[in-house]
Amino acid sequence: MTSYERVVARSRAVATRSPDPSTLARVGLGAMVLLAGVHKLLAPEAWAVYVTDWLAPLLVVSPVVFMFVNGVLEVGFGLALLVDRFTAFASLVAAVSLTATVAYLLVVWVLSGRFGDVLARDVGLAALAWTVLVEALRDP
């Protein structure tokens, strides 16, 4: 048996003992949403830098307050995902929010070249959120 084949065999053994992929996806999304929310509560100004000059006037509150309020909501939705309660609703909110964020970041990136790295990451996170939502809606 080659080294590669041994690695594949060990990996398969670990995979068979691992939680269901849908559980891993839900917990991963929940952890990300929760941690992002906590960080927004602790340092909303760090997140406010993503609000461009043309978006800021459209917000009802300052970008810092907007991010703080977002943080409160994200903590709740992240916890709901982690404990598998209201999973369809929490993942729907995450999916729609992340998709809107991707659309916004795409516009900013096209117009100014900014936030391309965040855009690339958020495309994957939005896909993860949609995946968790689809799985939650399939559960009986």
Rounded CA separation 73/40 (Å) = 10
Residue 139 is predicted with a pLDDT of 64
**Number of C-beta neighbours around residue 48 at 10 A:** 18
Domain spans of the chain? 19-138
Q: Where are the alpha helices (DSSP H) in the chain?
A: 3-17, 21-42, 44-48, 63-82, 87-112, 116-138
115: left (phi over 0), alpha (psi -120 to 50) or beta: left
Residue 140 is predicted with a pLDDT of 67
Cα–Cα distances in angstroms (integers) from residue 140 to residues 44, 120, 136, 137, in the given order: 38, 34, 9, 8
Residue 1 is predicted with a pLDDT of 86
Q: What is the pTM of this model?
A: 0.90
Burial of residue 89 (CB within 10 Å: 0-12, 13-18, 19+) is middle
Q: In the chain, pLDDT over 70 holds for what percent of residues? A: 99
**Which residue stretches of the chain have pLDDT < 50?**
none
Which 3 state secondary structure label does DSSP give 49? coil
